[in-house]
Chain A
């Protein structure tokens, strides 16, 4: 038996931040632009314009980043061992999808300390669809000993537009992966900084209070009338920006000039919808119409993006 654990802040199997840093380094070494999180509330790393918008158009693109993700409905007041309303995703997008993407992914698992001779890694069908983004792709949930540790998707359509070329997207659920690597059953018990003794900082030290407070907000206190209003405002602003950014008739430059700010409003509307959904004030049938409204925005933003330099327009 080993003695008392030794502080090891960079070790992916001992430290949450060590895991993040190892993944960043791994993908940086494979040519990815390592970005920082998008500074808005999103439900998943896919919403980052570096994925949603960059997946569209002909230009090659390789990026990796951590994205804090908010899923108000998943809050459990910090009491559930593995459900949070705020968590981290590590997102990799490679366009076009390289032929050895599965191997690259497996190499990344090896880099963070998963021994392929000991653990059962499986690719289990999981067709990904984001109704709000008007996006879908085919791929898998990646299982490690029965635990879903990543999503692996070949994007086929984003914002209602066929992807040409197709991008490959990897999404690592970092908390779950870390629990696995550290051999911990509760996310809150994760070692965050890899130090031991007095200097040890756990995930709970950093986030427990936030989980409790935001669960209260999401489920009990969020002002639904205000959220409905904000949803409508964001929708209206998005449409206004899309219209304003459109090149006028006979303009020299046919490109769209406000695709990114318009997309921000689409993200905002989506988050408002998630909050309303968590409050339970949207029924199954109504949900559909809200999802459609966000999808219309995202489609329009995707169309606008294709008319920008980033989207490949000259």
Chain B
């Protein structure tokens, strides 16, 4: 059966888009073929920088015949009905119709219409232009004269030619003819841009691949990767070095060449004094080259691997020289940044006030950078004030959190004060992705405590669900303080995430807090801890706004003038609250409750992502608000409850609970809410009740205080075990006892028992919120 070969030849496709584009091309074309009843044997798609190619093997020449039955009138129906049927079915006379018999309705006509299958060539000529016009590029563009009109073709970069052939192995294949915005399909492609730019006529996939190979194009990206990796390893090995492998970079460089030629370059050894991460960052990001390692020491070597796209006539020496020159220039930039950052700032005297305010030691370079950040008044957020103000808040909070996580308060405060100090360094200015890491290097160089240095890097962590969570107590304190301050601050200025919009990554911050607390086993009542940071943030927000409105003109403006006066009043009020502490005020409590609810939502997301019972969060939270701000405790309770519900006792108790709750709900509807509150009359049970009734009363009397005591001790397993003891009594009760006894006294008493059962479970979790 025949094969389809399709190639879309364009200007250079971004490397990062090539693989998905090939997959999309395959899926879109094959889906459309299958939809038309054209099934195939196999399909593969390929991408190079200048082409997407698709090979579909063993397609039929035409689609299957489609049979359709159309019901007609009964035999002997009036002529008008018959004529209408013949016309609708496209028949010339009734001879072409079939007669079917039905025992109830009698005989009637049926037209059997057979549509011949569409020719595959025609189907392809329909499908491919549609696929091209609606191709899902992440970013596409218009170009040339055609772009003067509104609806011109969009492609990732200008599309130049389309090759499309269809035919069996033994015969000359046919060119599938179509046109997309003036580009007519054909059987022509082009080789390597410099080695073989001339047109090549292609018949089918086999000779396409062979022709391209001859024209210095390796079609298959995985083969290009393999060539690069093998050659790179060999070149490294020959020098006694290890390639620092990097799958992302490999994928990218394989998308930058059609004919990979791997070469090795070198730079001066003196550059190795630059931190390895910075060398790698600059060589990788700017030059897309691999770095090499000395296997003995693990340190970077002064060599690099580059992948060119040319078999140069001089064997590549000009290319190596050129790349080496660029790498050297980049590294001398980095070396300059590194040296500058390690040195003193020129105008130190102007930073004295800042240093005094923040308790910084101007003899140390990193302290100088923090002082500079303060002096320049670099803004963190227009409504929240400066970076320096934020650092002061984080430092205060980190100090407060330190004892809770087992860190020395002085170290936590010191780490927080230096945590953002690398922001104004040259190195971080150039490579923002090195923030934190450079701060740590500089801290180590100036002899900071190792925990302080580590915390500077780790306080940004975890950056996402798969990132590592820090464990050093100093890091944990600063990481928590950083994230909590961010959350409280943006809540204070009412910039919360909405829908898909979360520009300040607040969801990630909340997730970070949850992971820090849970994975490090930190017991932390959030609400009390957040009152002070919230006030602190509000003071800074107030200052920021006052700064804007403090001009004479603004003070006299009829709108901003009164606002300025209000701000001054608020500042005094906030100031005294900050000084005297105390619990959340009326204007603070709802805001903190809202933030806490945000944490609860995030917690559910975390549990859901872990495949845990996130519905149990609501059950555990219940309606009470106490202990609801201790995230670790909530997780432990969910854990215990989830395990309990997985046992037979737990599942049965839940069933019993539901039965009790349903009965109570129905009866309370009749008698009124709260009618069955209070303890059951034990005497009445003794006098007139059943043995199972007594059993439940006794079990409740024992289990309820036990469960309560266990909860109070935070022994959730114990609380569950206490509840489990209820199960036989509950089962027996429902087995034998009729709740709605004709005797109103007995009925009320039995309902009271059920209410006691409901209350007993409520001490552990609100079972009514358990889903399923």
Q: Which residues of A contact B (CB under 8 A)?
A: 58, 76, 79-83, 96-99, 102, 116-125, 127, 137-140, 144-147, 154, 156, 163-166, 168, 180, 185, 220, 280-286, 289
Contact = CB atoms under 8 A, between A and B. Distances in A.
A81 B144 contact: no
B380 interface: yes
Contact of A146 (B287, B312, B380): B287
Interface stretch (B316-324, B450-458, B635-643): B316-324
A80 B144 CA distance: 40
B139 A127 contact: yes
Interface stretch (B34-42, B303-311, B558-566, B735-743): B303-311
B322 A119 contact: yes
Contact of B256 (A76, A82, A124): A124
The list of the 5 closest CB pairs from A to B, nearest first, reads A145-B322, A283-B379, A125-B14, A146-B323, A165-B148
Nearest to B141: A138
B378 A117 contact: no
A119 B309 CA distance: 9
B240 interface: no
Residue of A81, A122, A286 with most chain B CB atoms under a 10 A cut-off: A122
Contacts of B333: 80, 82-83
A127 B13 CA distance: 12
A145 B318 contact: yes
Contacts of A122: 12, 256-257, 309
Contacts of A123: 11-12, 49
7 contacts: A58-B148, A97-B144, A144-B322, A154-B158, A164-B148, A282-B379, A285-B382
B141 A154 contact: yes
Contacts of B322: 119-120, 144-147, 180
Interface in B133-147: 139-147
A280 B456 CA distance: 23
Nearest to A186: B329
Nearest to A279: B376
Contacts of A145: 308, 318-319, 321-323, 325-326
Contacts of B146: 165
B424 interface: yes
A140 B12 contact: yes
Nearest to A162: B142
A146 B147 CA distance: 32
A295 B321 CA distance: 42
Nearest to A166: B147
A147 B325 contact: yes
Contact of A120 (B308, B376, B381): B308
B386 A96 contact: no
A280 B336 contact: no
A285 B378 CA distance: 9
Given A125-B16, A127-B139, A146-B322, A163 B328 contact: no
Nearest to A116: B194
Given A147-B322, A283-B386, A117 B313 contact: yes
Residue of A76, A154, A282 with most chain B CB atoms under a 10 A cut-off: A154
A283 B148 contact: no
Main secondary structure of the interface of A (DSSP, over half): loop
A284 B309 CA distance: 39
Interface in B372-420: 376-382, 386-387
Nearest to B347: A220
B520 interface: no
A76 B160 CA distance: 44
Contact of B318 (A119, A137, A154, A283): A119
A233 to B, nearest CB: 15
Nearest to B255: A125
Contacts of B652: none
Given A119-B319, A154-B158, 8 more contacts: A83-B333, A96-B144, A96-B148, A146-B327, A165-B146, A220-B347, A280-B378, A284-B378
Interface in B220-247: none
A156 B323 contact: no
A168 to B, nearest CB: 8
B62 interface: no
A156 B433 CA distance: 29
Given A145-B319, A280-B378, A165 B145 contact: yes
B141 A166 contact: yes
A99 B158 contact: yes
A280 B139 contact: no
B492 to A, nearest CB: 16
A96 B158 CA distance: 13
Contact of B328 (A116, A185, A282, A283): A185
B157 interface: yes
Contact of B329 (A121, A165, A185, A281): A185
Contacts of A124: 12, 15, 256, 288
A98 B144 contact: yes
B659 to A, nearest CB: 58
A137 B139 CA distance: 10
A146 B326 contact: yes
Contacts of B108: none
B332 interface: yes
B314 interface: yes
Interface string B341-381: 00000010000000000000000000000000000111111
Nearest to B14: A125
Residue of B146, B158, B309 with most chain A CB atoms under a 10 A cut-off: B158
A240 B580 CA distance: 52
A180 to B, nearest CB: 7
A97 B156 CA distance: 15
A185 B326 CA distance: 9
A98 B143 CA distance: 8
Nearest to B327: A146
Nearest to B142: A166
Contact of B194 (A81, A121, A139): A121
A280 B386 CA distance: 13
